[in-house]
Each structure stands twice: as C-alpha cells, then as structure tokens.
Structure 1
C-alpha cells in the first residue's frame, strides 16, 4: 500500500489533537447586536465554511508557533467582534449575532507522518485533509449553542496547515477571506490592518421578514453519506487564455494588453508596478483605437459580448460534466453560480461589508442544448444571467424571499445540477503569517455533494485557476476521460 493509499484508508490515525482552548478578543467589544440578513438566514441550514492554507514549516518551535498564532487571533478578533459572539433569537423570532466576547475555539494538532507531498501529490484530495478542520459537518444554526468560529493549527512532518471553520450565516467568502487575510497580517506584525470590515446593517437585505425555524433547527438538504470523489483540477494562465479565445471565437494569442492587464490585476505585484502597468495598458488601448478606422471600431462595438475567462471555464465544466453524467437529452440541467451583491445594489454596499451578501443564480438548459451547441452557447447563457443580475434583480430576489422565508436548498436533487461556489478572485494566497505564502488551499467536508464545485485562484497567480470538483465516482471517471476537458488541465 502506498503512502497516499494509507492516508486515504487510515486517516483517522494520522492527526492527533494536542490541545483545545478558547481565544477571546484582546479588547472587549462594544458592538451592538447584528441582525441576520436575507442572505445570512438561508445559510442556517448549511455547514460551517471550512477553508485553510497549507504552508511549509516555519522556523519556529511548536510552543512559539502556537503562542504567536493565539495572540494574533486574539488581536484580530478585536477587529471582527462578531466572530467571537453567538446567535440569539428574540421573542419575535428575529435572529441576531450578539457580540458578547464568548470567544472562539483554538485547536492545536499534529500529524508528523503526513507531508506536503502527501496532500498535493494524490489524484484525489486525501481524506486526512478533512481532519485539519473542526466542526465537521456542523450546521450553522448551531451557532446558538457553540462558537461561531474555530481555528485549527496542524503541524505536519514538513509543514503546517492553518484552517478556519466559520459559521456560514455569519460570513460569505468575501468576509471569510478578509478575516483570514487580517489574521495573517496581524501575525506577521502589521500594526494597522489594511481592510477594516464594515458591520453596518442599514441596507435592503436587512429585512422585517421572520424565518420560522423548525423544532430542533434546520438540517442540510443533501445526503452527507452519498459516495463522492474530490479532486483539484489546475488550469494555467495560458490554458485559461486559450479557452477564453476559443469561446470568443478568436485566434489565441497573449497580446500585450492581455499580459499587462493580467499583471496589473496580479495581487503579488507592487502597487507601483500595478499603476505603471495600468497606465501602459491604457496607452496601448488608446493607440490601438486611434489607429483603427471609425467603421471598424463601430463594427467591433456591435460584436458579440465578451465572455470572461471564468465564464468560459464554467461553461466547459457544465458541458463536460453533463456529458459524463450521460443524461437523457431532454433532461433539464442547472448550473448555479454564487454572485457578490455588494456592488450590484444601489446604493452599493461597502466592498468590505461583513456578512453574507450573495445570491445564487441558476441557469437552465436541456442536456441536448448544452451538448449539441458549441461551447460559446453555454457560456453566453451564463454570461447573460450574471450580466442581468443588477440592482432590480437583487431586490426582486429579496422580495421573493420575504414572501416565503426559507433556508437554502443546497444539493443535487435531480442528478443534473452543478453548484459553483467560492471565486478565483478571493485573495486566498494573500496569507503570509511571517514565513511565506501558502503552498495550497484546501477545504473540509462542509457542503460537499455530487456537483459541488469551488473555484480557487492558482498559486502562480496571473489568472490561473484551481477547481475543487466534487462528483459521484462514475461521473468523475467520465470527466477524467473527457478529452475536451482534460486538454486544458495542467499535468502537474
């Protein structure tokens, strides 16, 4: 039996809990209770978010490392007091976060027989990764009775894994990664945090509607015991650009504008470099525009809408998973995408609004339409739905929920659904705790079912993407043998 197979079959013996403690904010909170919004409340039936970073081992002994992280977490909680609170339900049925400094769990664990290669090398994500997280499959409603967040630090043979398990009714991905980034900032000694969260509760998503919770609390709406496989598929920057070019029906080339645009959006470039790149990009665009005849410019403005890289990749996944599932041609397929509503509302929410500010956009099409049309057709369906999801649509979704308050039905109910979560735009690799950038991003068991996809930025940046794909075993095998899909997947 190989090391990877051993980790898959016997992971329960790999991780040993050394200690568990409670970390409190360094400064007592003065924040008032925070009412859950129409984006927060549906998540009460979802699992806690479980995400974390894998690092090479810092040059610190164990006690120093744990002390540093606990002190940094305590300081960080003063900026995020909601995470150290609990849920309360008032006499009318409204649910709030009371920022009462009850604290968060901190777990120190070791897995000395697990190495970085054991996590990155196997085809499927090894089960031992799930033991790097706390609150395994805990439903968010439980935040009434237990901490809203836990941090686990697992020391490996040659690395360390830092995970956060956070109540999904408290944060979405934007808020989650802002906390994680700030935690890393504080740990490496930054005196003034760069992105202070906004806890305001004065927008349209703060509703007078009351969610009626069933006796005993809500439960997840999918089978947590159904057989699944989980694999990370990596797509290089060049592969993504090639795919985008194909979808947009143009010859593949990495133009100067594209290269500079990617560079200016790369979080690992300095602000000075990004500003210079942005100026140069604008100069090139203006020069190109001046050199073109007006008739050509007008023709181009009337051309088909530009499909984004991520929409191109999502369309590829929709198409290839549908083919792997061998569905009846008349079967309706659904591709769900979570969208950030902060900038879609008028007036806009603060980009650092703390809480959930997301809505799920479904796109429907028959299996025959997805497979018989070209890739651009599928991408256009996704593009249109995302583009149309503006202020009016966001408010329409809010009104529909208020007319029938309910938790979110997460899962693949008819065997033909795909749910895309997370985002390659999230700053998942902006977490330098003082000993370098992460090696990888991984997640726990939370909210995983056949058809659940999570998008991560690739570690090399520049527009590369990693997809965490969860599928039924037979569907995964079909996807792995699909030449249209695999031609874009990196071999490393």
Structure 2
C-alpha cells in the first residue's frame, strides 16, 4: 500500500437551526465544538495508538521489537472556512460532486509512503454557511476500510459518552485488535527489498479528468435486481450486492463502447477476516482485504443477461477461501511488490470498493445524523465505484461512480442502469 493514497472519507452535517439565528454566538459554538472533537479524538487515540506515530524504514535485519513514537501528534484542524454563500445544498444539489469537496481533506494526493513525515491520521473540520464537514484522512498501510470505520465509529461513541459526562479515557465495547497477523510459517515482520532511493518503488498516480456522481438505489430497487438475477439463474444464492455489481459492470462496459472481443474485469474488495481459518477478529486493525476478480468478454457480458454476470461474481466470491488467501500470501512473500494504481487497475475493468455494510451514518458528534458521505481525491480512477449505505438505511445503497465525462454521459443515458436508479 506504500504507493497508493490515504483513505479519505468524511461526513456532512447541518448545523442546528439556532446557529443560524443572527443573535447566536456562532464563533463560540464552533470553538466549543472543536474542543470537544479534540478531547474525544485524544481518547480515541489512546485505543488506536498506532495512528499517533509515523512510518519508519529500517535497513538491515528487522528486530523483533521495533521502536515506535507517540510524540508526533495526529492532526485535527479547522481547515479553511468556506465563503458564507457556500451551503450544504451547494455540496449536495449539483449532479456531480463539486471539486471543492477535495479541499475538505488534509493530505491531499499524499501517498502512504509520505507517512514517514506526515501524520498517519488527519482530521479536518470545514465550516460551511449552514453546516460542517468532518473529513478523515488515514494512511492505508495502517488499516483498510474496516479499520477506518472502526476508528470513526469508536471516536463517535467516545464523543457521545463525553457529552454525557464521561471521563477522558472511555472504554470501548469493540476495541481494536492491534496484534498484526502473519502466516504461521512466516512469523514476521516481513521485509521489502531495501533501496536508498524509495522513489524507484513508488509512483504518484494522477487521475485523468473524471466526473464523480453518487447514484442512489432504494432497497426495493435492489431487491428487484436480486430477484431477477436469481430468477435468470434458477437459484436463490446470488446476493443483493452481487446483483447490483453485475448491473454496474454490464452498464459501464456498454457505456465504454468496447468491441465484443475485449476482455473486461470486475473486482470487488473482499474482507478476509472471517474467511481465514482460523478467522481473525472482526475488529482486527490492519489491512485484510483482497480484490476478488472475475472477467469476461464484452460480447458475452452484454449478451447473456444480468443473471449470467451475477453468477460469475457469485462464483468468484464463493471460491475466495482461506486456502486461496494463504496461497496468495505465500506468492507475495516470495515476490513482494508495491502496488501502483495505474498497473493494478486497468482501463477495461471496474473496481467496487468500500462497503454498504460499514456503519457510516451512525457517527454523530452532537449535530445529529449526517446528511451525506463524501470522499476526497484519493484512489480514484476510471471505473472506480465506492459503495455506501443509503442515508435512509433499510438496505438502500449509494454508489459513488468515477468515469470520464463521455463515458458518464453514456451511462446516464443507459435505460437498464437508470431504470434501477431511484434518485441521485
């Protein structure tokens, strides 16, 4: 993960109506709000202490116990206040996510190797005319999406407990499991080939011109896709998310106008914690993900129906076993590599990242429920799709899709795709 970007996700909260009254002391409210965030963040880092350090490169045999530092503070700052004319509606109303959202995150375009000097976690709070945005940037070498949202959820619970009068250090019902996992025959730590010039291993990916749009799928629409995929296959085993992914894969392949003979792939980020034997703790704090891939020729994909594509995805997920994971680990240990976005994900495929299973809208900081989730510049490319729970819950899903302008316009004109979109 050294050459990919930090994870950047955040939540948009409206301010309480009293904050908009002319006689209300809003600056004092914001100062108090930031102090509460800092206090609760400090308590959260007591539990998630690796996030308070820095990365270090050691040349030579790796000692069993490596030094760590807690002297470098995790950043939390107010960022730049938006002009008073910038409102919550200005963020949510446009068809495409406005570029200004990228400024809501610290460590913009930083890659994880920069964690040698940059904080491994940064929290930026941006004040709008009628709302605030809390944006987190977390180094992806430290943890994956499961780890990211475990931290966010824990921080929120600590904030709420302290609002009720709890002490600074608040116990957690789901504390992170911080002991790193290694294969039994490789007790770790593991080493990369050393170089005096780390830039030879790294690459700073620059995304092409992309349009980013959040499409909403209601629980009923997703249930309809699942029912149709299973009906076409004569089964009941295909999941809701596999059915939705099959739709997205087919429709983006059609919008790209590839020839029928072109091979197109679909990757889905799989959480490996429960798949390993023995399984890892659900609270394992680290990276335990693998992109599960399946592929087909465009002609087959578009000519065979939703169920055919969903069955391919279902089979790939079903075969993603502990044995396969251990084989993959062994191969990586023999030939360690640093992932580069431009080489790992090709222009003919899509990548389904994040997860609608993460508790994203359960995070509250004294302002009620967030109205939207948005992400920064990080790790976006042609065909990147991020899945979030819908705001209303109940099994609804939001998909953040990144495509070049021409491809996005063709996707928006695709009858099969737009028939499933509830609103966006």
TM over 0.5: yes
Task: Give 1:105's aligned residue.
Answer: 75
User: CA-to-partner distance for each residue in 1:160-183, whole Å, 9 max, x for gaps?
Assistant: 100100001011000100111111
How far apart are residue 99 of structure 1 and its match?
A: 4.6
Matched, 1:49 2:13: no
Give unpaired runs (5+ residues) of structure 1. Answer: 1-42, 251-301
Q: Using the alignment, how far apart are the partners of 2:395 and 2:239 within structure 1?
A: 11
1:71 to 39, 52, 66: 39
How many residue pairs get matched? Answer: 398
User: CA-to-partner distance for each residue in 1:5-53, whole Å, 9 max, x for gaps?
Assistant: xxxxxxxxxxxxxxxxxxxxxxxxxxxxxxxxxxxxxx11110010000
Q: Is the contact between residue 240 and residue 309 of structure 1 (CA under 8 Å) also seen in structure 2?
A: yes
Tell me whether 89-98 or 43-52 shows the greater mean CA deviation: 89-98
Q: Using the alignment, how far apart are the partners of 1:116 and 1:306 within structure 2?
A: 41
Task: Give 1:479's aligned residue.
Answer: 411
Q: Is the contact between residue 209 and residue 405 of structure 1 (CA under 8 Å) also seen in structure 2?
A: no
Pairs within 5 Å for 1:11-22: none
Q: Using the alignment, how far apart are the partners of 1:414 and 1:390 within structure 2?
A: 25
Matched, 1:243 2:174: no
Q: Using the alignment, how far apart are the partners of 1:52 and 1:97 within structure 2?
A: 31
Q: Is the contact between residue 94 and residue 211 of structure 1 (CA under 8 Å) also seen in structure 2?
A: no
Q: Using the alignment, how far apart are the partners of 1:474 and 1:439 within structure 2?
A: 29
How far apart are residue 216 of structure 1 and its match?
A: 3.3
Q: Is the contact between residue 361 and residue 369 of structure 2 (CA under 8 Å) also seen in structure 1?
A: yes
Task: Give 1:211's aligned residue.
Answer: 192
Q: Using the alignment, how far apart are the partners of 2:194 and 2:400 within structure 1?
A: 32
Task: Give 2:209's aligned residue.
Answer: 227
Q: Using the alignment, how far apart are the partners of 1:473 and 1:166 within structure 2?
A: 29
Q: Using the alignment, how far apart are the partners of 1:312 and 1:457 within structure 2?
A: 16
Q: Using the alignment, how far apart are the partners of 2:190 and 2:47 within structure 1?
A: 29
Task: Give 2:395's aligned residue.
Answer: 463
Change (3 A) 1:359 1:93: farther
Task: Give 1:198's aligned residue.
Answer: 177
Change (3 A) 1:414 1:74: closer
Pairs within 5 Å for 1:89-128: 89-92=57-60, 98-109=68-79, 110-111=81-82, 112-128=84-100
Q: Is the contact between residue 81 and residue 101 of structure 1 (CA under 8 Å) also seen in structure 2?
A: no
How far apart are residue 104 of structure 1 and its match?
A: 0.8
How far apart are residue 407 of structure 1 and its match?
A: 1.4
Q: Is the contact between residue 125 and residue 232 of structure 1 (CA under 8 Å) also seen in structure 2?
A: yes
Q: Using the alignment, how far apart are the partners of 2:297 and 2:53 within structure 1?
A: 45
Q: Using the alignment, how far apart are the partners of 2:194 and 2:111 within structure 1?
A: 13
Task: Give 1:443's aligned residue.
Answer: 375
How far apart are residue 219 of structure 1 and its match?
A: 3.1
Matched, 1:135 2:107: yes
How far apart are residue 97 of structure 1 and its match?
A: 8.1
Give unpaired runs (5+ residues) of structure 2. Answer: 20-25, 163-169
Q: Is the contact between residue 217 and residue 423 of structure 2 (CA under 8 Å) also seen in structure 1?
A: no
Change (3 A) 1:308 1:198: same
How far apart are residue 305 of structure 1 and its match?
A: 5.0
Q: Using the alignment, how far apart are the partners of 2:103 and 2:403 within structure 1?
A: 20
Pairs within 5 Å for 1:125-204: 125-189=97-161, 191-204=170-183
Q: Is the contact between residue 221 and residue 411 of structure 1 (CA under 8 Å) also seen in structure 2?
A: no
Change (3 A) 1:101 1:229: same
SS in 1 for 2:176: coil
Q: Is the contact between residue 175 and residue 352 of structure 1 (CA under 8 Å) also seen in structure 2?
A: yes
Q: Is the contact between residue 338 and residue 360 of structure 1 (CA under 8 Å) also seen in structure 2?
A: yes
User: CA-to-partner distance for each residue in 1:166-208, whole Å, 9 max, x for gaps?
Assistant: 0010110001001111111111225432220000124428645
Pairs within 5 Å for 1:251-266: none
Change (3 A) 1:176 1:316: same
